[in-house]
Amino acid sequence: MPMFVDTPDASAAKNWLAAIVESSDDAIVSKTLEGRISTWNAAAERLFGYSGLEAMGQPIAMLVPECRRDEMPRILDRIRHGDRVEAYDTQRRHKDGHVVDILLRVSPIRDGDGRVIGASKIARDISDRRAAERQQRRLKDELNHRVKNTLMTVQSLVSQTLRSSPDPAAFKEAFETRLIALSRAHDLLERGQWEGVELRDLIARNLAPFAEPDRIGMGGPTVRLGPEATVSLGLAFNELTLNALTVGALAGIDGRLSVTWETADFGDGRGPCLRLDWVERHDRMVGIPTRRGFGRRFLEDALGRQLDGSVTLAFGADGVHCHLDLRLAALHASAFTP
């Protein structure tokens, strides 16, 4: 039995084509050879922000940002010669002024005699794709920066620990302890997705493995530390903790440790600052150290320089008092700026 297929007439075909264009997720726009917009579908309204009434008859150049104006004569020249412009990444301007990343194809429009009378443009929004690409590049750059910073920190730890170690065994013990402190800081940063660490958490994480909670007092406002400050202060608190465990307040059974801090603009022209006091109290007499090991050099020389402030160490008869005076802006800053 023969099969028959209905063929729509020309009018129906045009209506069908118009419906396809109007329902497309891609912006489909046509223009005359003079550069005036002649058709404008719903997706173009969504992508560029202009309604059909606003766009029709307007110069297509209103969509082209200044940095892309050199594309227009090249495209028009190819269209006049009847050539297609294959898909390429470019940018166009939204009605509200922001720039949109698009994938653009341009084809000539011909009349019944084959003459080029205009151009059709199909634009696809690729803003999400481009944003994802930029984020991926930023993450790669940030990872590279973190790895370099970590290697530099480890290199410095090796060098400084060697200077203060009398023998290989002492070096191994001291270096491993400092690597663990570095690892603790990185664990906290990873947990916070490298967006910051609370000062209280950093202090508690360093003290938790070594001391009973009832021998330690902590108090102060919330202070968010950036990656660089987290690593530097993590190493500093590790050195103070080790000193307290070996010759300080946490070495005996009666010692106490108080860590308190405040934040304010103290009127010295530096803006808001953190002032932190690490104060040990115990009955055993401890003399002033006769040599400056890694920990003391790091605290007195490096820490203040790294975090834009000052560090004061005092060795009293009843224990160590370490005073930090650091600018909050330096503590909040990220180690990486994309």
Q: Which residue has the tokens 């160590």?
A: 320
What is the structure's pLDDT at 4? 40
Model confidence over 15-30: pLDDT tens digits?
A: 666 777 777 889 999 9
Reading the block at residue 67, the tokens are: 């940095």
| Burial (Cβ within 10 Å: 0-12, 13-18, ≥19) of residue 296 | middle
Which residues of the chain have a pLDDT value below 50? 1-6, 335-338
What is the structure's pLDDT at 243? 86
Nearest Cα residue to 232 out of 314, 307, 127, 136: 307
Task: Say if 73 falls within a structural domain.
Answer: yes
Model confidence over 83-141: pLDDT tens digits?
A: 999 999 999 999 999 999 999 999 999 998 999 999 999 999 999 999 999 989 988 88
Task: Say if 3 falls within a structural domain.
Answer: no
Statement to judge: residues 301 and 221 lie in one domain: yes
DSSP letter string, 271-336:
-EEEEEEEEEE-SS--PPPSS--HHHHIIIIIIHHHTTEEEEEEEETTEEEEEEEEEHHHHH--S-
Statement to judge: residues 112 and 36 lie in one domain: yes
Task: Examine the fold and report which residue of 98, 125, 152 is the final residue of a domain before the chain moves on.
Answer: 125
Burial 136-165 (b: 16+ CB within 10 A, else e): eeeeeebeebbeeeeeebeeebeebbeebb
Task: Examine the fold and report which residue of 106, 125, 144 is the final residue of a domain before the chain moves on.
Answer: 125
The total of structural domains in the chain comes to 2
What is the structure's pLDDT at 201? 94
Statement to judge: residues 36 and 170 lie in one domain: no
- Report the largest interatomic distance among the alpha carbons of the chain, rounded to a whole angstrom: 113
Q: For residue 181, what are the domain limits? A: 130-332
CATH code where residue 243 lies: 3.30.565.10
What is the structure's pLDDT at 114? 92
What is the structure's pLDDT at 338? 35
Task: Examine the fold and report which residue of 96, 125, 154 is the final residue of a domain before the chain moves on.
Answer: 125
Nearest Cα residue to 242 out of 322, 151, 301: 322
Statement to judge: residues 188 and 300 lie in one domain: yes
What is the structure's pLDDT at 319? 81
Alpha helices in 24-126 (DSSP H): 42-48, 52-55, 71-80
CB 242 within 8 A of CB 202: no
What is the structure's pLDDT at 235? 92
Statement to judge: residues 94 and 147 lie in one domain: no
Tell me the pTM.
Answer: 0.63
CATH code where residue 101 lies: 3.30.450.20
Task: Say if 107 falls within a structural domain.
Answer: yes
Statement to judge: residues 23 and 139 lie in one domain: no
Task: Say if 317 falls within a structural domain.
Answer: yes
Statement to judge: residues 230 and 284 lie in one domain: yes
Statement to judge: residues 179 and 321 lie in one domain: yes
Task: Say if 315 falls within a structural domain.
Answer: yes
Distance CA 147, CA 170 (A): 27
Statement to judge: residues 196 and 106 lie in one domain: no
Task: Say if 337 falls within a structural domain.
Answer: no
Task: Say if 157 falls within a structural domain.
Answer: yes
Which helix (H) or strand (E) covers residue 137, if one does? Answer: helix 127-164
What is the structure's pLDDT at 13? 63
Distance CA 237, CA 177 (A): 12
β-strands 216-219, 256-265 pairing = parallel
Task: Say if 5 falls within a structural domain.
Answer: no
Statement to judge: residues 101 and 214 lie in one domain: no
Taking each helix axis from N to C end, the angle separating 227-246 and 199-207, rounded to the nearest 10 degrees, works out to 30
Statement to judge: residues 17 and 91 lie in one domain: yes
Statement to judge: residues 113 and 137 lie in one domain: no
What is the structure's pLDDT at 336? 40
Neighbour tally for 243: CB within 10 Å: 25
